[in-house]
Amino acid sequence: MAAEALFPLQPGDRLVTRVFALVIAVTLILAFAALMLVVQPYSQLSRVEPDPGSAPYTVEQARGRDQYVSLGCVYCHTQQPRDRDFGTDDERGWGRVSTPADYQWDYPHQLGTMRTGPDLFNIGARQSSEDWHLTHLYQPRAVSPGSIMPAFPFLFEVKDEAGEDDVVVQVPPAYAPAIGVVVAKPEALDLVAYLISLDHTYPSAWLETEEAADEQ
Amino acid sequence: MTPTLATLLLITFAVSVLSLVVLGWAVWRHHMRWGPAAARVIFGPREEGIPEEPAVPAGEEKRIRPEADLDSLPEAAREELLDRAEADRSSAAPVLLFLLSSTVWLVVGSIVGVVVALKFTFPDWLTGSALLTFGRLRPIHLNAVIYGWLSMAGIAVMLWLLPRVLRTRLRGTWWAVTGGVIWNVAVTAGLIALAFGWTDGLEWMEIPWAIDILFVLAGGLMAVPLFATLKHRRVGHLYVSVWYFAAALVWFPILFVIGNWPNLHFGVEHAAVNWWFAHNVLGLWLTPIGLGAAYYLIPKVLGKPIYSYSLSLVGFWALALFYSQAGIHHLIGGPVPTWLVTLSIVQSVMMVIPVIAVAINHHVTMVGHFRALRHSPTLRFVVAGAMMYTAVSLTGSLQSLRSVNQLVHFTHYTVGHAHMGVYAFASMIVFGAIYFLVPRVTAREWPRPALISWHFWLSFLGVGLYVVALTIGGVLQGLAMMDPDLPFIESVRVTLPYLHARSVGGAMMTAGHLVFAYHVAVLVLGRGPVRQEAPWRPKLSSLSNPEIAS
């Protein structure tokens, strides 16, 4: 006995008996969602100019950003300070709320969704010491007690003595190797150059325009 | 906000609400006429009332519904049962390929997951090489379990279930097998690339776009048999599971290509696309697979049609309308245009409608049969997963509210929530489906039923501990971060005990997976008993249905 005979078609069935109709309908729904969530932001944000206060990365900073991306820093650090009436970012000195104009040099974006560690969008303004960053990357707990950030010893090498161009890392005795000195590899120097470049404390032209618009 | 945008937003909301009203009206009008009959298309003549549960030894199905008379199945149902057995056997090769591959990825992914979890406790452990650093292992874990485990296992379930509910054999088997091989190559290449730091750098889209091309190719190959099978269907009505599967098979490739297209997106727009995609991997890919499987397995195991077929229609279309626009709630408080975030929040809250529709169907169908959970491994996994779906979705809607989001957004809470969705809901249902389908496609029995119980309790209690620990830890972390007088490190310190507990939960889940993988291996290697069918079921050896085989 054919199933059609068992369950004869009823008026309401037409909608769900035609695979083609189903496929078209669900595609249209997704297309509609894409129109709202992809095409609209694309057209709105593609008109945004980089903020006059921001600057493209130098070659060294760009290499450092590649390290940041490749080592997965984004899984614990955001780069999106929130507005002062939405969280305590401002009170913690993490900087003003960020705007789309602050990100026009960033590809891929590293906004992040997790704060196992603090927001880094203005880490360069908070901590501009190369020495501090190198020590921190070599052994976070040497400068930040209680930190659970992984150590990155593979960005450094231990030498018997430092060469002429070597950047020596200051390591407290408790964390220092038994013999030799800790020297930063180029990857570590690039990464630190990027971190120090993370300074978006310039006055935001975007926010000023928005405020002006609000006042009208 | 420009007037154009405001208009568009208004239209969006109007369309969503209007669609629901129309849907409700249609359901109300047709309720009495076609709802109940359509829910019964998964049963043969007079098969209703008779449970089907291949995960228990043949004959023991009686215990699921003691009142059922298993010998009462008339000759009239014979053709239906033969068709079903033929459909099951036709998909065996690709289903086993996908299933075994997914099991390997599950074990790999969960072991890496435990290592990642332990790194919160031991930050100086395995730091000697970039390949083993936290930021490399974490995306390996995610991509292994999403694209290796759950996607492949989900495709296995669809490859098996579609021919079954369409009463035909799987067409173009070798397209699927080829697709499966390429998919495995893509996952392997992707994970190796991530280990060596070659990444696209976006959460859920880390695998480099060059390797993504392999996924698209594999997906295209697998679409051929699935749509060819749909075309050759021998049923008048498409059961609700088929809508979910067909929709998922349309949605995911589109999302994948838009999201991963290189050098198209930029800055904050990239972030919006990133989270639109990432949320839809769960919402429009894993969720339809899980719900489609549950919509078939709960009534099939019980031998009882779902409570309200009309409601399932509302649930499906509302999910399509609302879930597809919910993703930007991952960027609440971020530098994205306010209207975009608001749109996603509204749609996230609207998700309550499809969730309740599905919940009523899944849970009310179970009423009066909770004892069956003791006897049916399939049901135990699927019902646990379905309950978790309700829970994770309702809390998800809650989390999208700005006030709640402000507290939990950047915390471990979200990680717990993600595991509740992907694991406690989707993976549990897929586990249940696997326990049901493997005996059917291999004609073998699960050799050690006790191992299924071990797997269930390790997974269930493991993920329970995982989610509870991260929920509490995440809220405490959020509270500490919201207090400007506390130094930031305090928000790290308060989470530590909960992060340790999470590792224990993860280790339990992993132990469950090892049990599962061992059990699958024993069965597939032929160490278990051959399936002796109950007298009222056709013996697989006697299969020859000329009509369907042609």
d(CA A148, CA B477): 14
Query: Minimal Cα distance from A92: which residue of B?
Result: B484
Spell B401-433 as b/e; 16+ CB within 10 A means b.
Answer: eeebbbbbbbbbbbbbbbbbbbbbbbbbbbbbb
Distance from CA of A164 to the nearest CA of B (A): 26
Q: Tell which of B226, B270, B314, B498 to mutate to test the A interface (max A CBs under 10 Å).
A: B270
- Mean pLDDT, residues B247-276 taken together: 95
Query: Minimal Cα distance from A18: which residue of B?
Result: B238
Nearest CA to B357 among B309, B418, B408? B309
Q: Do residues B135 and A73 make contact, with C-beta atoms less than 8 angstroms apart?
A: yes
3-class DSSP state for residue B184? helix
Sign of CA dihedral B500, B505, B508, B510: negative
- Token pair 């002796």 in the structure block, residue: B532
- Mean pLDDT, residues B173-196 taken together: 97
**How long, in residues, is chain A?**
216
Beta strand spans in B262-372 (E): none
Lookup: tokens for B115? 């290592």
Distance from CA of B364 to the nearest CA of A (A): 24
Whether B546 shows a pLDDT value over 60: the answer reads no
H-state helical runs in chain A: 3-6, 14-17, 19-34, 40-45, 59-70, 123-126, 130-138, 140-143, 186-197, 205-215
CA distances from B313 to B20, B28, B283 (A): 11, 11, 17
Of residues A73, A113, A151, nearest to B330 (C-beta)? A113
Does B493 touch chain A if contact means CB atoms closer than 8 Å?
yes
- Mean pLDDT, residues B496-510 taken together: 98
Distance from CA of B144 to the nearest CA of A (A): 16
Lookup: tokens for A127? 């901590």
Burial status of residue B533 (CB atoms within 10 A of its CB: 0-12, 13-18, 19 or more)? middle
Within 8 A of A36 by CB-CB distance, chain B residues are: 8, 12, 325, 343
Please calculate the CA angle B250-B298-A25 and round it to the nearest 5 degrees.
25
Residue B79 identity = E
- Residues 90-119 of chain B with CB under 8 A from chain A are 119
Q: Is the ipTM of this complex over 0.90?
A: yes
3-class DSSP state for residue B128? coil
- Mean pLDDT, residues A131-135 taken together: 98
Count of other CB atoms within 10 angstroms of residue A21: 12
d(CA A151, CA A148): 9
- Pairwise CB contact (< 8 Å): B273 & A38: yes
- Pairwise CB contact (< 8 Å): B268 & A153: no
Whether B20 shows a pLDDT value over 80: the answer reads no
- Residues 117-156 of chain A with CB under 8 A from chain B are 117-118, 140-141, 144-154
Whether B535 shows a pLDDT value over 60: the answer reads no
- Pairwise CB contact (< 8 Å): B127 & A153: yes
Q: What pLDDT is stored for residue B1 in this prediction?
A: 53
Q: Do residues A169 and A184 make contact, with C-beta atoms less than 8 angstroms apart?
A: yes
Nearest CA to B286 among B334, B322, B244, B317? B244
pLDDT tens string B378-428: 999 999 999 999 999 999 999 999 999 999 999 999 999 999 999 999 999
Within 8 A of B79 by CB-CB distance, chain A residues are: 1
User: Which residues does residue B530 pair with via DSSP β-bridges, in sequence order?
Assistant: B444
- Pairwise CB contact (< 8 Å): B8 & A27: no
pLDDT tens string A68-77: 999 999 999 9
Confidence label for B540 from pLDDT (cuts 50, 70 and 90) = very low
3-class DSSP state for residue B483? coil
Q: What pLDDT is stored for residue B308 in this prediction?
A: 86
Q: Do residues B173 and B232 make contact, with C-beta atoms less than 8 angstroms apart?
A: no
- Pairwise CB contact (< 8 Å): B324 & A104: no
Within 8 A of A4 by CB-CB distance, chain B residues are: 235-236
d(CA B312, CA B308): 7
Distance from CA of B524 to the nearest CA of A (A): 34
d(CA B359, CA B373): 17
Lookup: tokens for B411? 């915390």
pLDDT tens string B164-177: 999 999 999 999 99
Within 8 A of B403 by CB-CB distance, chain A residues are: none
Nearest CA to B226 among B148, B313, B291, B161? B161
- Mean pLDDT, residues B219-247 taken together: 90
Percent pLDDT > 90 in chain B is 74
Residue A90 identity = D
Q: What pLDDT is stored for residue B205 in this prediction?
A: 97
Q: What pLDDT is stored for residue B218 in this prediction?
A: 96
Q: Do residues B200 and B209 make contact, with C-beta atoms less than 8 angstroms apart?
A: yes
Within 8 A of A102 by CB-CB distance, chain B residues are: 335
- Pairwise CB contact (< 8 Å): B482 & A69: no
Number of helices (H) and strands (E) in chain B: give both, helices first: 22, 0
pLDDT tens string B454-477: 999 999 999 999 999 999 999 999
Q: What pLDDT is stored for residue A80 in this prediction?
A: 97
Q: What pLDDT is stored for residue B2 in this prediction?
A: 64
- Token pair 């007298």 in the structure block, residue: B535
Spell A23-35 as b/e; 16+ CB within 10 A means b.
Answer: bebbeebbebbbe
- Mean pLDDT, residues B194-208 taken together: 97
User: Which residues does residue A183 pair with via DSSP β-bridges, in sequence order?
Assistant: A157, A168
Does B33 touch chain A if contact means CB atoms closer than 8 Å?
yes
Q: Do residues B127 and B133 make contact, with C-beta atoms less than 8 angstroms apart?
A: yes
User: Which residues does residue A182 pair with via DSSP β-bridges, in sequence order?
Assistant: A158
Whether B162 shows a pLDDT value over 50: the answer reads yes
d(CA B343, CA B350): 11
Using a cut of 0.90, tell me whether the model's pTM lies above it: yes
Q: Do residues A28 and B254 make contact, with C-beta atoms less than 8 angstroms apart?
A: no
Confidence label for A172 from pLDDT (cuts 50, 70 and 90) = very high
3-class DSSP state for residue B360? helix
Within 8 A of A117 by CB-CB distance, chain B residues are: 492
Q: Specify the DSSP class assigned to residue A168.
A: B
Q: What pLDDT is stored for residue A196 in this prediction?
A: 98
Q: What are phi and psi of A14, to 5 degrees?
A: -55, -35
User: Which residues does residue B172 pair with via DSSP β-bridges, in sequence order?
Assistant: none
Within 8 A of A78 by CB-CB distance, chain B residues are: 410
Q: Do residues B520 and B100 make contact, with C-beta atoms less than 8 angstroms apart?
A: yes
pLDDT tens string A8-18: 444 445 544 57
- Pairwise CB contact (< 8 Å): B33 & A10: yes
d(CA B507, CA B111): 8
Percent pLDDT > 70 in chain B is 93
The phi-psi region of residue A136 (left if phi > 0; otherwise alpha if psi is between -120 and 50; otherwise beta) is alpha
d(CA B209, CA B517): 31
Whether B537 shows a pLDDT value over 80: the answer reads no
- Pairwise CB contact (< 8 Å): B337 & A145: no
